[in-house]
Homo-oligomer: A and B are copies of this chain.
Amino acid sequence: MSRAYNFCAGPATLPEAVLKQAREEMLDWRGSGMSVMEMSHRSDEFVEIADTAERDFRELAGVSDDYAVLFMQGGASSQFATIPLNLLGDKTQADYVNTGIWSKKAIAEAARYAEVNVVATGADANFTSIPEQAGWKTNPNAAYLHYTPNETIGGVEFDFVPESGDVPLVADFSSSILSSPLDVSKFGLIYAGAQKNIGPSGLVVVIIRKDLLGKARDITPTMMNYQVIAENGSMYNTPATYSWYLAGLVFKWVKAQGGVEAMGQLNDRKARKLYDFIDGCDFYANPIDARFRSRMNVPFTLADDALNGDFLKGADQRGLLNLKGHRSVGGMRASIYNAMPEAGVDALIEYMAAFAEERG
């Protein structure tokens, strides 16, 4: 088929313009005689690609010189260990907020290295809401406070940045980085697996306040030591060069769309359209507390689960792909990251309306 609308939660759809440029440059990057993936990471060409990507990312995300930006490997899941290994320092405790499946994974890994204090949990509401911060039991001796701003599977998203006082705030922005403006100065560390809003999998971007560098425990693998990676410009070993290059193309594309302000407006509009349609149609339902509905991942159910197979089949035929919900949640899920055009959401709504009309 021609290009479909791909609602996959990640790896996720990329801007067509980015893929076209990558295709164009595949065999010969700007007259260099080679593909980017064949370049020495220490060559002038690749260093320019890498530096440009970092500069554009800093500009887009508003990252000051007080922070290092690292391009690491191993995905967000590696960061679940890297964070306690690096940030505990001489402390033993860390605070975590549990708002769903990705929070739980972060907590489970951290608990192998730290005394984890779960300061708040969405479990009582079956993770359909975010606990108000007023009730959180934070610990002033915690090395950091970790939360997951957007839960990709549950489809629940914070509409506020937690206050953490002097305790560094750490956030897994894998599924919402660059999707709207963000005040980085409120954070000690932000990390994001690339495969949703940044580029291909195999890359994870870390923003770390420089005063948090240099505290790694002695058991930390060198490749997980933030200070080592920072001191070597993310080239302590050969980085994931092609993923870094593609991330750079995505950053240029986001800038060309008007930056994170414009992306935020577009993402708000896309999400509102879809939620409004779901709320206005008895045939579909979304279980999330309206205030905390994710702008990136929209889970929804049909009035009759027995129709799920037909719904997915019809969607596939119309080039609306990967709408099946996560196995732990069931139903459907539409991931509508930056690269999903508004026309894709419109096409989805049109199909959902027709399906409800016919089968509802």
Interface residues of A (CB under 8 A from B): 1-4, 6, 8-14, 16, 19-20, 22-23, 26-28, 31-35, 37-41, 43, 73-78, 80-82, 85, 109, 112-113, 193, 195, 199-203, 218-219, 221-224, 236-243, 246, 319, 321-322
| Contacts A41-B11, A195-B238, A201-B242; A109 near B78 (Cβ below 8 A) | no
A193–B241 CA distance with the chains assembled, in angstroms: 13
Query: Which residues of chain B have C-beta atoms less than 8 A from A4's C-beta?
Result: 32-34
Select A200's contact among B19, B223, B242, B321, beta carbons within 8 Å: B242
Shortest distance from the beta carbon of A224 to any chain B beta carbon, whole Å = 7
DSSP class of A's interface residues: helix, strand, loop or mixed? Answer: loop
Select A19's contact among B27, B74, B85, B112, beta carbons within 8 Å: B27
Q: Are A238 and B38 in contact (CB under 8 A)?
A: no
Query: Which residues of chain B have C-beta atoms less than 8 A from A240's C-beta?
Result: 73, 200-202, 240, 243
The 3 nearest A-B residue pairs measured at CB:
A202-B240, A4-B33, A81-B221
A242–B19 CA distance with the chains assembled, in angstroms: 13
Sample of 5 more A-B contacts, CB < 8 Å, known A11-B37, A202-B203: A1-B31, A19-B35, A41-B201, A75-B237, A200-B241
Q: Are B14 and A28 in contact (CB under 8 A)?
A: no
A321–B46 CA distance with the chains assembled, in angstroms: 14
Interface centre among A26, A27, A35, by most chain B C-beta atoms within 10 angstroms, is A35
Select A40's contact among B35, B77, B203, B322, beta carbons within 8 Å: B322
A12–B39 CA distance with the chains assembled, in angstroms: 7
A324's nearest neighbour on chain B, judged by CB, is: B40
Query: Which residues of chain B have C-beta atoms less than 8 A from A1's C-beta?
Result: 28, 31-33
Shortest distance from the beta carbon of A283 to any chain B beta carbon, whole Å = 26
Query: Which residues of chain B have C-beta atoms less than 8 A from A80's C-beta?
Result: 222-223
| Contacts A202-B240, A222-B109, A243-B202; A6 near B33 (Cβ below 8 A) | yes
A238–B27 CA distance with the chains assembled, in angstroms: 27
Q: Are A26 and B22 in contact (CB under 8 A)?
A: yes
Select A73's contact among B10, B35, B74, B82, beta carbons within 8 Å: B74
9 contacts between A and B (CB under 8 A): A2-B33, A6-B38, A13-B38, A26-B26, A78-B221, A201-B241, A202-B243, A240-B240, A240-B243
